[in-house]
């Protein structure tokens, strides 16, 4: 069974493989020609490809010449999705003829009215391709880099606003102020952070600046989208002085007026990524005189603060394994992420002045308010706390510590500005997972996540000819008719759609939890079928013209047309169903002999005293490896996920001691999927590390399915 072998190999080495719900025979039917070229019968032929860290360069020579470049991309998508991002980037470079001779160019030049200050990620390639024009040769996937002064000199005019589209945390204010001081003088440059009560001020400054030939910057227009039509009308009525320039900044917003967007010169502005860049931005705001105001303890504490802030910000680039943690895009409209450290450092230093520093005060302030107050995931809070304990502790910043280290970095025993700049300059330009405590194979998981996002964007582009947001009877009938006919055939001879069912109820208190669970599953399954039937029946009536279009039918049709039915509109939330029906059914019979126990999950449970034990298998672990006895660190060649041995969960008395986060056990979240968006419960795993923070920072988690 070559396909079965390939599927197993893909799961083992690539951490992905063929998705479970696709029958291998269907794949063979649709890709029979491609499958015949791959020669999977030769098991040793593909071994180097499966084990290689750069599999896109290790195709078997006997096969490579028979495959097109897109077919190679399909093979990597099916077998090694952990390298799909790199493969897609290489395919895009080849397709656009980025420096590859002998290949007919497909895309030549970026629209010259769209610029970017920093190289975009692969995640943005789908959006990037939409702005490409068939003109000359495209030299690089990244738009050309340049400075604001060149843009001002070559491209801007008084009658055209310059719209700067910023990413969360990026702030071009400093660059604009420098350009203004060099060009027209700081006294002729005005800026307004848009928000409540600023509209009249902005309009008055707009008229005055246009008349006098000054510069005006209106910041954060995404916060006042309802006011933008007024701004647009005012701009069109102006007769500006030739020296006038109107700079606008905004984050991406779905309700930003398209007319204002089209009439502006557009620039994308992103903060340069990486720990190194983040630290450099922070220290640029601190002078050497400021750093010399105290002793080396104070200087070390400032570096620890800057390092902590950079880590929690940059860790987000490894989502979802690195968790969301905290973003300061909504901290305050006029404050960027880098400026947060400037706000925090003074109160932080006040807390650090005591000879006996009360670290729990700093931990509590950061956890409960400044950082943790913006995190809504319990496990993310635990990761945040682990960083606080790692960076802000007497073992790192204690008064009598001679060798102060943060991770592998040795802090200078001085308060000289140049010593800290030198330390920062030695950091790698690109983030290394070890700096965050993440596993060495995190890049593989990150590539899978990014490539999945790109594929989702490409699917949207592929369906761009279907106008789901606008009712078109012919389009809906031709595109959705097969789905309606299939559902009709599936229900022929079935009575489920007409069956009357009631939620199961606990009557005598003797129903076993297992039977109660089965009854609830039957009830929910029938209600789900009936919900789908009612939804599709309403859609069918709209297409036939029997009823008027409603918002729910519109939402359903749009989701079906875009092939993105991730959740049924207005469907009953499964978690609320469980809370309302299942827990009361289970709790009552168990409560009587065990006095309100709680659910405990572990891999080594003494089963002799367990009232009801359930064996669960097929769970997947990401972030580390479990050998059946203890957790161990991932290696660069480790699979992105590994299968866990069966575990046991049971109801236990409340007075049983907790094993979570001790030297012998760590409590890890169990998620529904690798997207880590819904937590089922927490399971205890044995570990031998003396530092439980290590397993929290590596992003270790368990989930039921690897399909995203």
pLDDT band at 237 (very low <50, low <70, confident <90, very high): very high
Residue 418 and residue 481 in one domain: no
Tell me, yes or no, whether 14 lies in a domain. Answer: yes
Kindly state whether residue 131 falls inside one of the protein's structural domains: no
Q: What's residue 115's pLDDT?
A: 37
Listed in sequence order, the residues at least 6 apart from 423 whose beta carbon sits closer than 8 Å to its beta carbon are 303, 409, 411, 412
Q: Does one domain contain both 279 and 363?
A: yes
The pLDDT of residue 110 is 32
Q: Mapping DSSP to helix (H, G, I), strand (E, B) and coil, where does residue 126 land?
A: helix
pLDDT per residue as tens digits for the range 366-398? 888 878 876 777 888 888 899 998 888 888 777
- Is it the case that residue 493 has pLDDT exceeding 90? no
| Within a domain: 88 | no
Structural domain contains residue 85: no
Question: Does residue 654 sit within a domain?
Answer: yes
| CB-based burial label for 616 (10 Å; 0-12, 13-18, 19+) | middle
Report pLDDT for 7: 40
Q: How confident is the model at residue 230 (pLDDT cuts 50, 70, 90)?
A: very high
Residues 419, 483 within the same domain: no
Cα separation, 494 vs 536, whole angstroms: 16
Q: What is the pTM of this model?
A: 0.64
395 within some domain: yes
Distance CA 15, CA 279 (A): 34
Residue 305 has pLDDT above 80, yes or no: yes
Give the domain-ending residue among 269, 302, 330: 269
Same domain, 370 and 415: yes
Together in a domain, 264 and 283: no
Residue 202: partners with Cβ closer than 8 Å, 6 or more residues away? 192, 194, 218, 231
Digit-coded pLDDT (tens) for 421-461: 999 999 888 788 888 889 988 888 888 888 888 888 787 77
Radius of gyration of the chain (CA): 30
Within 10 A of 453 (CB to CB), how many other CB atoms are there?
Answer: 17
Please tell me the predicted confidence (pLDDT) of residue 241. 94
**Cα–Cα distance between 503 and 517 in angstroms, integer?**
12
According to DSSP, the residues that pair with 625 across neighbouring strands are 632
Residue 295 pLDDT grade (very low, low, confident, very high; cuts 50, 70, 90): confident
Does residue 7 form part of some domain?
A: yes
CATH number for the domain that contains residue 205: 3.40.50.300
Judge whether 94 lies within some domain. Answer: no
233 and 165 housed in the same domain: yes
Of the residues 27, 56, 79, the one at which a domain ends: 79
Provide the number of structural domains found in the chain: 5
pLDDT in tens, 76-100: 998 888 899 889 888 888 887 765 4
Residue 217: is its pLDDT beyond 50? Answer: yes
Last residue of a domain, one of 79, 99, 132: 79
Question: 329 with 263, same domain?
Answer: no
pLDDT score of 469: 56
**Joined tokens for residue 285:** 């705001």
* pLDDT-derived band at 109, boundaries 50, 70, 90: very low
**The CATH number of the domain where 388 resides is what?**
1.10.8.720
Range of the structural domain that residue 676 is part of: 577-705
The model's pLDDT over 459-492, given as tens digits with 9 standing for 90+, comes to 777 665 555 557 788 888 888 889 999 999 988 8
């Amino acid at each position: 069974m070559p396909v079965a072998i390939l599927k197993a190999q893909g799961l083992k080495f690539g951490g992905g493989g063929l998705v479970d719900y696709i029958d291998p025979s269907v794949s063979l039917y649709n890709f029979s020609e491609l499958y015949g070229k791959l020669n999977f019968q030769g098991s040793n032929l593909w071994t180097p490809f499966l084990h290689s860290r750069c599999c896109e360069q290790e195709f078997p020579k006997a096969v490579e010449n028979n495959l097109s470049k897109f077919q190679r991309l399909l093979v990597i998508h099916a077998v090694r999705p952990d390298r799909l991002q790199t493969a897609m980037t290489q395919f895009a470079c080849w397709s656009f003829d980025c420096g590859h001779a002998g290949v007919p160019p497909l895309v030549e030049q970026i629209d010259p009215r769209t610029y970017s200050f920093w190289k975009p990620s692969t995640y943005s390639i789908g959006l990037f391709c939409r702005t490409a024009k068939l003109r000359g040769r495209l030299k690089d996937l990244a738009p050309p880099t340049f400075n604001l002064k060149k843009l001002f000199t070559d491209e801007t005019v008084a009658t055209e606003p310059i719209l700067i589209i910023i990413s969360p945390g990026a702030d071009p204010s400093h660059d604009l102020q420098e350009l203004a001081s060099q060009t027209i003088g700081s006294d002729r440059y005005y800026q307004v952070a848009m928000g409540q009560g600023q509209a009249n001020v902005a309009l008055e400054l707009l008229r005055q600046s246009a008349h006098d030939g000054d510069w005006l910057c209106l910041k954060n227009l995404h916060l006042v989208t309802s006011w933008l039509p007024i701004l647009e009308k005012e701009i069109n009525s102006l007769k500006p002085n030739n020296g006038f320039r109107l700079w606008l900044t905004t984050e991406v917003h779905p309700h930003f007026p398209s007319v204002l967007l089209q009439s502006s010169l557009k620039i994308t502005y992103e903060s340069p990524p990486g720990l190194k860049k983040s630290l450099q931005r922070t220290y640029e705001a601190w002078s050497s005189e400021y750093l010399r105001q105290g002793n080396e303890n104070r200087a070390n504490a400032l570096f620890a603060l800057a390092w902590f802030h950079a880590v929690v910000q940059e860790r987000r680039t490894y989502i979802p394994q690195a968790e969301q943690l905290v973003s300061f895009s909504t901290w305050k409209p006029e404050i960027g992420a880098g400026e947060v450290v400037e706000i925090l450092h003074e109160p932080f230093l006040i807390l650090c002045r005591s000879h006996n520093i009360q670290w729990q005060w700093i931990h509590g302030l950061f956890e409960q308010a400044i950082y943790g107050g913006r995190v809504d995931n319990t496990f993310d809070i635990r990761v945040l706390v682990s960083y606080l304990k790692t960076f802000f502790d007497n073992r790192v910043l204690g008064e009598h510590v001679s060798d102060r280290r943060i991770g592998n970095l040795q802090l200078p025993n001085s308060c000289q500005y140049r010593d800290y700049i030198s330390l920062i300059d030695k950091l790698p330009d690109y983030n290394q997972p070890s700096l965050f405590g993440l596993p060495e194979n995190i890049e593989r998981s990150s590539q899978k996540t990014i490539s999945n996002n790109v594929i989702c964007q490409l699917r949207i582009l592929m369906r761009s000819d279907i106008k789901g947001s606008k009712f078109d009877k012919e389009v809906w009938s031709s595109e959705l008719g097969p789905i309606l006919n299939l559902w009709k055939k599936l229900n022929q001879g079935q009575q489920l759609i007409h069956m009357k069912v009631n939620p199961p109820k606990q009557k005598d208190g003797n129903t076993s939890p297992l039977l109660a669970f089965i009854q609830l599953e039957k009830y929910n399954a029938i209600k789900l079928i009936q919900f789908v039937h009612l939804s599709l029946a309403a859609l069918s009536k709209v297409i036939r013209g029997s009823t008027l279009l409603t918002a729910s039918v519109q939402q359903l049709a749009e989701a079906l047309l875009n092939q993105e039915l991730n959740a049924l509109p207005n469907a009953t939330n499964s978690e609320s169903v469980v809370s309302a029906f299942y827990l009361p059914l289970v709790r009552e019979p168990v409560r009587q002999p065990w006095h309100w126990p709680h659910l405990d999950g572990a891999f080594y449970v003494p089963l002799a005293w367990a009232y009801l034990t359930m064996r669960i298998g097929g769970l997947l672990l990401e972030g580390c490896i479990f050998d059946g006895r203890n957790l161990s660190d991932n290696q660069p060649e480790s699979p992105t996920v590994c299968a866990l041995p069966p575990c046991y969960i049971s109801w236990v008395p409340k007075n049983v001691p907790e094993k979570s986060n001790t030297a012998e056990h760590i409590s890890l979240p169990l998620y529904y999927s690798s997207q880590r968006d819904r937590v089922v419960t927490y399971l205890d795993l044995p570990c031998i590390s003396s530092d439980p923070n290590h397993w929290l920072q590596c992003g270790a988690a368990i989930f039921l399915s690897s399909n995203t």
